[in-house]
Chain A
Amino acid sequence: MGKIKVASQWLESCAGCHMSFLDIDERIVELLKHVELSSTPITDLKHPPEEGVDVGILTGGIGNEEEKEEAKLMRSRCKILIAMGDCAVTGGICTMRNFFPTEEVLRRGYIETESTVDGEIPVHEDLTPLTDKVSGVGDVVPVDIFLPGCPPSADAIWFVLTELLEGRMPKLEGKVLKYGMDGG
């Protein structure tokens, strides 16, 4: 059997979950004996190839149309999809804008902030419209594994990957099941 192909993507996020993944430190050497990293936001390939990958990791929540499409793309090209981090699992901290109407959020951010002079809400063909509410990935595509944490600890990420490599669906409990920064 060849190496397991793993791809990842970050959506509405801070990239902290990818940093936490890198916190597996030297274990990455062991990991790469069994895993081939396909597309990630920090390598050259940005999207999984058409023939798909075995495991997809989505970090970040879904807050605009482009992120929705990215999530759907990952789902269609991954056999197993992991929602990693509180933002991917529940929308996380990005959901703070869900308590306000979207126009109010845009107005506050682009016009009303105290240091802004002559602001305007940008509209451009390259700018994707915001969704009404920020949500976790699971609201848009079916998710196989939820790994909460802000970020999930490197040990939790290592646990999930090694369980999968051993052919088991990881069951989170104890030290690897932590919400927020509780694991940190």
Chain B
Amino acid sequence: MSEVQITFNGKKVTAQSGQTILEAAQAAGVDIPVLCYHPDLSAWGACRMCLVEVKGMRGLQAACTCPIADGMEIETEAESAVEVRKFVLELLFSERNHYCMFCQMSGDCELQDAAYRYGLDHFTYPRPYEKLGVDATRKYFIMDHNRCILCTRCVRACSEIAANHTLNLRERGSESMIMADLNVPFGESTCVECGTCLQVCPTGALIDARSAYGGREKDVTHTQTTCMQCSVGCKLDVVTRYNRLLRVDGVFGSDPNGGLLCVDGRFSPLYDERKRVKQPLVRRDGKLMPAGWDEALKLVAGKLKQGGVEGFATGATTNEALQAFTALFEKMGGQAGMLEAEAPELGFGTEGKISDLADADFIVVAGADPLEYQRVIGYLIHRAADKGATVAVIAESENKLSDRADMTVSYADADKVAQAASEAGKVVLVYSLAIKGKVIAAFRPLAEKLSYIALSPARNAKGAELAGLKQMKSNGAATKFFLMGEQDADESLAEKLNGAFTVVQASYLSSLTDKADVVLPVPLWYERTGHITNLEGKVLPLNIVLPMPDGVRDDAEVLAHLAEML
């Protein structure tokens, strides 16, 4: 890549060869309007808004696809270009329904912004008033074809970023329409509701059900934090207004997921219907009653001082809470461990990064179902497969990755996969609990070129590991302490209490809290400070998006306080 000299509107700038006119313009601070272009998607050249005049070239060039050359002279607001842009806008407004007055995107719409920019104050051409469909068959977001300008950002996002290839265009000309699969309702399609299309849509065609009409950019607040729903640790941009959680957006270009989220991180947490623990609860005369923190903590500390305590934590909390948990048990004695199991140690190979998936030649998924539990990892595996990587699945039961994998074998045939992988350059082994010794043995010979990604079920598994916590079985202690965080409690936990004095630190009520003697509330993911450590070992920060309700205290603080009280 070498430097070239080009001119924008009479002003000389230095650019990099290989850039398009648009890329060079953006780097130089020259504003060229776009509609179908998005910096994280491939250039499409469909909307014709970015047309510019290039001296010596016939006609107008689309800046998003035209490569620069040394000495190029570009006029970005030439009269001919502006006229065409106005014409494009007038044609767009003459089709479908672009009335702003009842559209939830009004004020933040890229089409509207373009119309303002070029002074469109009325529609020149007559409108056909055709009524197109509104697809609300998905739970979390809606597609209104009447607002769609067919920029195909959604199609490209679905295939390039999410690698799901659900969306496409059907028909031609004025009959063109975005469709899912072979024109089925979105709710019945292969759509995984990752919401990437929703985020890149420039108009009000794709509408988030929860945040629609909830506030424009000028009204809302953006807070970045880290997702706590699995061990990937995607960066989130959480949108709020006053005390209301509106929406979760991805942050394009961020580590480790590049802006790609999944339904578990983007949508589900905002629809959580579990009942929250809003203040400490203490069992009196057989019933759980609200209590003050002083009373509850005194009661717990008293029990802890008596000894015979065992502690169980889950990964649904912060590094700080897990470390305070370990510290508390170190101080008072008594064993502490995790409810969740860890993925086994391989004993060979290098610990991989999530980015290793992108340049792997051969990806093996063994005893893991990332498309279900760490979805972004699954999507990134699909993306690698699109780029030519071989994907092999080793599993005994149904695995969602098998649909698009090159081979799916049972554990007995792990050797075959290892054989095929031995010919490859870079091998990545993605595995979880169910990996068998046979599989591990089969891949040991490939140790030199193998990096692994261990998917432990606990969300903050690495945080737990670093706090020295491993899966633990009960030893029948008289007092049981559960650090549940936001994790759902398995039914069996309540059944196996065996009359022990039970203390539960949790965000939500559950079958376990129903049987507890003391319940201490824990803040939710968007109310927290602290950190989690993702599966790559990166320590990622949590930021307070909304304040926790009065009555709730940070679990790390409570654990430290209890340690002091001993």
Contacts and interface: CB of A to CB of B under 8 A. Distances in A.
Contacts of A99: 129-131
B258 interface: no
B29 interface: no
B129 A172 contact: no
A158 B169 CA distance: 46
A34 interface: no
Interface stretch (A17-25, A36-44, A49-57, A174-182): A174-182
A181 B216 CA distance: 12
A139 B121 CA distance: 15
A136 interface: yes
B102 A180 contact: yes
B504 to A, nearest CB: 49
A172 B101 contact: no
Given A86-B99, A92-B101, A93-B101, A180 B121 contact: no
Interface in B91-149: 99-103, 106-107, 112, 115-116, 119, 121-123, 126, 129-131
Q: Point out which of B101, B112, B116, B129 has the most chain A C-beta atoms below 10 A from its C-beta.
A: B101
B122 A136 contact: yes
A83 B122 contact: yes
Contact of A93 (B99, B112, B126, B131): B99
A99 B102 CA distance: 16
Contacts of A92: 99, 101
Given A98-B129, A180-B106, A182-B106, A86 B119 contact: no
A125 interface: no
A181 B102 CA distance: 8
Contacts of A178: 116
B121 A177 contact: yes
A138 interface: yes
A180 B103 CA distance: 9
A180 B100 contact: yes
Given A95-B129, A99-B129, A180 B99 contact: yes
Nearest to A90: B123
B122 A148 contact: yes
Nearest to B132: A99
B99 A90 contact: yes
Contact of B129 (A133, A148, A181): A133
Contacts of A71: none
A104 B103 CA distance: 25
A150 B123 CA distance: 15
Interface residues of B, number: 18
Per DSSP, chain B at the interface is: loop
Interface residues of A, number: 27
A108 interface: no
A148 B121 contact: yes
B122 A146 contact: yes
Contacts of B119: 171-173, 177
A181 B106 contact: yes
B133 to A, nearest CB: 12
Contacts of B100: 86, 150, 179-180, 182
A178 B115 CA distance: 10
A182 B104 CA distance: 10
A78 B158 CA distance: 54
Contact of B121 (A147, A150, A181): A147
Contacts of B107: 182
A147 B107 CA distance: 17
Given A99-B129, A150-B101, A182 B121 contact: no
Contacts of A93: 99, 101-102
B492 to A, nearest CB: 52
B92 to A, nearest CB: 14
A19 B363 CA distance: 66
A90 B107 CA distance: 19
A89 interface: yes
Contacts of A146: 121-122
B101 A180 contact: yes
A86 B101 contact: yes
Nearest to A87: B101
B103 A90 contact: no
Nearest to B130: A99
Contacts of B129: 95, 98-99, 133
Interface in A91-144: 92-93, 95, 98-99, 133, 136, 138-139, 143
Given A92-B99, A99-B131, A181-B101, A172 B106 contact: no
Nearest to A89: B122
Interface of A: 83, 86, 89-90, 92-93, 95, 98-99, 133, 136, 138-139, 143, 146-148, 150, 171-173, 177-182
21 contacts: A89-B123, A92-B99, A92-B101, A93-B99, A93-B101, A95-B99, A95-B129, A99-B129, A136-B122, A146-B122, A148-B121, A171-B119, A173-B116, A177-B116, A177-B121, A178-B116, A179-B100, A179-B106, A179-B112, A180-B99, A180-B103
Interface of B: 99-103, 106-107, 112, 115-116, 119, 121-123, 126, 129-131
Given A92-B101, A148-B121, A180-B103, 12 more contacts: A83-B122, A86-B100, A89-B121, A92-B99, A136-B122, A136-B123, A146-B121, A146-B122, A173-B116, A177-B119, A179-B115, A181-B101
